[in-house]
């Protein structure tokens, strides 16, 4: 770990005082997250961004998170992403033009009636706006079931973007059979789906995934069961359905932490999520007699979360001290309006 930036970060923060708020997603590296005023999952951090009165919100996370913070913040607040290259490969799997084409095709194929668009937080602001404008909403992994209920109270079918795994895991847990779910491939005519199957579908899943969580496989769970009897397996719902089915519990990053916190001393856990969070949990809970290991020994790293370094944080803070705003994330006013509608609906849904 590089601690040489610590003094610079601390000095700049002290000068900025309460004007600057640092948010840190649970996947951030140790040497960044320890400077966060708040840590959390996407849901919790977006709530903090919506409620803070700090002038500058430094989002140590990825691009879609900073965009959402900008949508939810007041016009006089400024959101900064310390490295503009911190994107999300899953969010990049759905592009607004593709989503519009999909929507038009679904209407043409006669399944537009009662169709509610629901996007995972891990998507660009224009896709959130698309959903807001069409009576849809946003969800995170901590309130996806509530968002599905919200959508089914207003329509009979959901178009879920962009993570097929979160969509499938949520729908299945709600009792929707697999034959009422289809996967829409944006690179195929009519999504590559037989129109008769589309008509029978209650959930249309966009063909997107998280390349980090997709690396966890059912055989990893089988190995833990064989080698570590009694160990609980907890995974993020971005993991494949086959993995989630074999796990003891699923949850957002915040829920994974809570699960371990609430478990009795002496418990042990194999966790299927990003390696920085897993390593931090292992270190935090070892003195409390709880053992935490990663579900996959190769250690799944989110390389884009990792882009945020102490040097980037120091640089953005020092610029603020000098009166310069660098790496601002600003969503256009047009997009902001409907994206905010969709995000406000999300914040009303139970976690
Ligand atoms: P959480 O909302 O659970 O923190 O998940 C965000 C994310 O990107 C997981 O890959
Ligand atoms: Fe995106 Fe996956 Fe990284 Fe989460 S872990 S930010 S979904 S690439």
Condensed to tens digits (0 to 9), the pLDDT of residues 256-283 reads: 999 999 999 999 999 999 999 999 999 9
Q: Considering the chain, what is the average pLDDT of its residues?
A: 96
pLDDT above 60 for 170 = yes
Same domain, 205 and 220: no
Last residue of a domain, one of 190, 210, 230: 210
Same domain, 237 and 281: yes
Query: What was the pLDDT predicted at 2?
Result: 62
Ligand 2, atom 7: nearest CA belongs to which residue? 210
Ligand 1, atom 4: nearest CA belongs to which residue? 41
pLDDT above 90 for 351 = no
Range of the domain at 252: 213-294
**Residue 348: inside a domain, yes or no?**
no
Query: What was the pLDDT predicted at 1?
Result: 56
Residue 101 assigned as binding residue: no
Same domain, 95 and 202: yes
Ligand 2, atom 2: nearest CA belongs to which residue? 210
- Cα(121) to ligand 1 centroid in Å equals 9
Same domain, 322 and 286: no
Instruction: Report the number of distinct structural domains present in the chain.
Output: 3
ipTM of the complex: 0.98
CA 177 to CA 246: how far, in whole Å? 18
**Residue 351: inside a domain, yes or no?**
no
Same domain, 189 and 225: no
Same domain, 249 and 285: yes
- HSE-CB at 196 with a 13 A cutoff on CA atoms is 0
Q: What confidence category does residue 32 fall into, taking pLDDT thresholds of 50, 70 and 90?
A: very high
Query: What was the pLDDT predicted at 299?
Result: 77
Q: What confidence category does residue 308 fall into, taking pLDDT thresholds of 50, 70 and 90?
A: very high
* Lowest mean pLDDT, pick from 1-10, 85-94, 106-115, 190-199: 1-10
Same domain, 100 and 206: yes
Condensed to tens digits (0 to 9), the pLDDT of residues 111-162 reads: 999 999 999 999 999 999 999 999 999 999 999 999 999 999 999 999 999 9
| Ligand at shortest distance from the CA of 61 | 2
DSSP secondary structure, 247-297, as one string: SSEE--HHHHHHHHHHSPTT-EEEEES-HHHHHHHHHHHGGGT-EEEESST
Same domain, 198 and 309: no
pLDDT above 80 for 3 = no
Query: What was the pLDDT predicted at 339?
Result: 98
Q: How far is CA 256 from CA 103, 208, 230, 270, in A?
A: 34, 23, 18, 11
Same domain, 27 and 128: no
Q: What is the pTM of this model?
A: 0.96
| Average of per-residue pLDDT across 51-66 | 98
pLDDT above 90 for 350 = no
Last residue of a domain, one of 164, 194, 210: 210
Q: Which helix (H) or strand (E) holds 181?
A: strand 181-184
Same domain, 288 and 235: yes
Residue pair 300/216 in contact (Cβ under 8 Å)? The answer is: yes
Query: What was the pLDDT predicted at 277?
Result: 98
Condensed to tens digits (0 to 9), the pLDDT of residues 235-251 reads: 999 999 999 999 999 99
Last residue of a domain, one of 210, 228, 263: 210
Q: Does residue 122 have its Cβ closer than 6 Å to ligand 2?
A: yes
Q: What is the CATH number of the domain that holds 123?
A: 3.40.50.10800
**Residue 338: inside a domain, yes or no?**
no
Same domain, 145 and 162: yes
Query: What was the pLDDT predicted at 158?
Result: 98
Same domain, 274 and 287: yes
**Residue 145: inside a domain, yes or no?**
yes
**Residue 342: inside a domain, yes or no?**
no
**Residue 10: inside a domain, yes or no?**
yes
**Residue 299: inside a domain, yes or no?**
no
């Amino acid at each position: 770990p590089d601690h040489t930036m610590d003094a610079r970060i601390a000095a700049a923060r002290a000068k900025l005082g309460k004007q600057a708020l640092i948010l840190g997603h649970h996947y951030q590296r140790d040497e960044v997250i320890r400077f966060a005023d708040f840590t959390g999952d996407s849901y919790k951090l977006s709530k903090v961004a919506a409620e803070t009165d700090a002038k500058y919100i430094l989002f140590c996370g990825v691009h879609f998170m900073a965009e959402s913070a900008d949508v939810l913040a007041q016009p006089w607040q400024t959101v900064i992403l310390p490295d503009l290259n911190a994107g999300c490969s899953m969010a990049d799997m759905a592009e607004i033009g593709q989503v519009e084409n999909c929507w038009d095709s679904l209407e043409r194929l006669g399944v537009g009636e009662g169709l509610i668009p629901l996007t995972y937080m891990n998507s660009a602001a224009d896709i959130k706006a698309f959903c807001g404008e069409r009576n849809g909403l946003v969800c995170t992994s901590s309130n996806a079931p509530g968002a599905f209920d919200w959508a089914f109270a207003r329509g009979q079918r959901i178009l879920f973007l962009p993570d097929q795994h979160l969509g499938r895991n949520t729908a299945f847990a709600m009792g929707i059979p697999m034959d009422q779910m289809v996967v829409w491939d944006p690179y195929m005519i009519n999504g590559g789906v037989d129109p008769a199957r589309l008509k029978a579908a209650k959930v249309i899943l966009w063909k997107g995934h998280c390349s980090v969580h997709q690396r966890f496989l059912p055989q990893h769970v089988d190995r833990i069961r064989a080698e570590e009897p009694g160990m609980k397996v907890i995974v993020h719902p971005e993991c494949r359905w086959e993995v989630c089915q074999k796990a003891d519990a699923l949850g957002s990053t915040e829920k994974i932490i809570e699960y371990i916190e609430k478990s009795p001393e002496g418990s042990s856990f194999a966790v299927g999520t990003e390696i920085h969070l897993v390593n931090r949990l292992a270190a935090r809970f070892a003195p409390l007699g709880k053992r935490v290991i990663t579900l996959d020994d190769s250690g799944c790293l989110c390389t884009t979360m990792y882009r945020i370094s102490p040097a980037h944080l120091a640089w953005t803070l020092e610029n603020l001290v000098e009166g310069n705003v660098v790496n601002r994330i600003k969503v256009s006013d047009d997009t902001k309006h409907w994206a905010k509608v969709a995000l406000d609906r999300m914040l009303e849904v139970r976690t």
